[in-house]
């Protein structure tokens, strides 16, 4: 009898574990059919748009009007690969919204850079919990979102996009300009309009640089409820909680939305872009939120 009960319990546990692990959904195909593309302004004029000195006749390119093929699909040994030229600022955004998920992808830098970042680090990013219209951010190019930064030597850093906010355990080392993620540090608020929201900043650096130069890098984003972990090449480099945003003067939770992949003046490639839904924050990450 005891053996039968044990066998039943084991079977139930296996079924529960299997039920909580949803199948991976592939997000790339040869037609980029699960994404919309928004393009704002070329890099050589976007600074004037930000400064407010651009002529009134200068308008963003718009949605699904990518005649320059800033976002295009190529192949790597029969694997579909998204190439982003970076020539025009903007993003590819999933048509579907997601909440409570494990997202992963591989990326690799290309060779080209564009104004206004010819002398800057190559830059891109995955924007998550993206909501509302495009063009509401500083660069007039993206939806409001939280950012998993992808930049040379800084994979997994955090930026607020528009009115998004989070809490991050962080410290500012002596003499440093920016805050840096530290697992056991006090939780600080990161938000735009810092004084209004009592924020430390709107940007936080990662705990360590894990980038593999001149090769594919694995990124992962695990989000459940209002909490997320940023993972680069298998290491947690930053964690956030209390994801939220300002709406009509009130701060409310921000726990779902579209995913955006940025075009930001650098050539970059993405492949093996996939997502699966989860029913809880995996136990291996629970300690990051104590």
Instruction: Give a yes or no: residue 94 inside a domain.
Output: yes
In SS3 terms, the chain reads as CHHHHHHHHHHHHHHHHHHHCCCCEECCCCCCCCEEEEEEEEHHHHHHHHHCCCCCCCCCCEECCCCCCCEEEEEECCEEEEEECCCEEEEEEECCCECCEEEEEEEEEEEEECCCCCCCCCEEEEEEEEECCCCCCCCCCCCEEEEEEEECCCCCCEEEECCEEEEEEEECCCCCCCEEECCCCCEEEEECCHHHHCCCECEEECCCCCCCCCCCEEEEEEEECCEEEEEECCEEEEEEEEEEEEECCEEEECCCEEEEEEECCEEEEEEEEEEEECCCCCHHHHHHHC
- Mean pLDDT for 26-41 is 97
Q: Is residue 267 part of a domain?
A: yes
Tell me whether residue 12 is in a domain: no
What's the pLDDT tens digit per position in 191-241?
Answer: 998 889 999 999 999 999 999 999 999 999 999 999 999 999 999 999 999
Residue 199: how many CA atoms within 13 Å on its side-chain side? 22
Determine the pLDDT at residue 29.
Answer: 96
- Predicted pLDDT of residue 195: 86
Predicted local distance difference test score (pLDDT) of residue 20: 56
Residue 160 near residue 211 (C-beta atoms within 8 A): no
Strand partners, 269: 83, 108
Predicted TM-score (pTM) of the model is 0.92
pLDDT for residue 11 is more than 70: no
Q: Residue 143 belongs to what domain range?
A: 24-289
Cβ-contact 84, 70 below 8 angstroms = yes
Nearest to 230 by CA among 122, 160, 155: 155
What is the pLDDT of the chain when averaged over all its residues?
A: 93
Q: Compute CA distances 175 → 39, 80, 154, whole Å.
A: 38, 45, 19
For the CA atoms of 213, 218, 219, 223, what is the dihedral angle to 10 degrees? -160
Residue 10, in any domain of the structure: no
Condensed to tens digits (0 to 9), the pLDDT of residues 78-108 reads: 999 999 999 999 999 999 999 999 999 999 9
Residue 7 belongs to a domain: no
Report whether pLDDT(15) > 60. no
The CATH number of residue 107's host domain is 2.60.120.560
Please write the tens of the pLDDT for every residue from 57-74: 999 999 999 999 999 999
Whether 260 is covered by a domain: the verdict is yes
Structure-block tokens of residue 211 = 């980038």
Token pair 């190529």: residue:
74
Q: What is the pLDDT of residue 17?
A: 44
Number of domains in the chain: 1
49 in a structural domain: yes
Q: Is the pLDDT of residue 112 over 50?
A: yes
pLDDT per residue as tens digits for the range 250-281: 999 999 999 999 999 999 999 999 999 999 99
**Interval 23-40 mean pLDDT:** 97
Give the separation between CA 123 and CA 46, rounded to whole angstroms: 15
């Amino acid at each position: 009898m005891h053996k039968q009960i044990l066998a039943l319990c084991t079977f139930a546990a296996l079924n529960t574990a299997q039920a909580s692990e949803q199948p991976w959904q592939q997000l790339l195909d040869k037609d980029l059919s699960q994404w919309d593309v928004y393009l704002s302004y070329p890099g050589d004029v976007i600074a004037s748009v930000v400064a407010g000195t651009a002529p009134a006749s200068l308008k963003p390119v718009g949605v699904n009007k990518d005649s320059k093929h800033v976002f295009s699909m190529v192949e790597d040994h029969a694997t579909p690969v998204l190439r982003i030229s970076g020539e025009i600022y903007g993003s590819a955004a999933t048509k579907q919204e997601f909440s409570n998920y494990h997202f992963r992808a591989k990326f690799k830098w290309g060779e080209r850079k564009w104004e206004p970042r010819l002398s800057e680090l190559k830059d891109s990013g995955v924007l998550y919990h993206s909501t509302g219209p495009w063009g509401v951010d500083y660069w007039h190019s993206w939806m409001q979102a939280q950012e998993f930064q992808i930049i040379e030597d800084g994979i997994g850093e955090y930026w607020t996009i528009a009115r998004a906010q989070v809490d991050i355990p962080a410290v500012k080392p002596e003499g440093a300009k920016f805050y840096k993620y530290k697992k056991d540090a006090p939780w600080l608020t990161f938000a735009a309009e810092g004084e209004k929201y009592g924020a430390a900043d709107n940007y936080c650096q990662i705990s360590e640089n894990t980038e593999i130069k001149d090769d594919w890098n694995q990124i992962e984003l695990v989000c459940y409820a209002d909490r997320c972990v940023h993972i680069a090449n298998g290491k947690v480099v930053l964690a956030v909680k209390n994801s939220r945003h300002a709406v009509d003067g009130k701060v409310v939770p921000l726990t779902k939305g579209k995913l955006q992949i940025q075009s930001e003046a650098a050539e970059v490639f993405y492949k093996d872009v996939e997502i699966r839904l989860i029913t809880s924050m995996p136990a291996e990450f629970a300690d990051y939120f104590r």
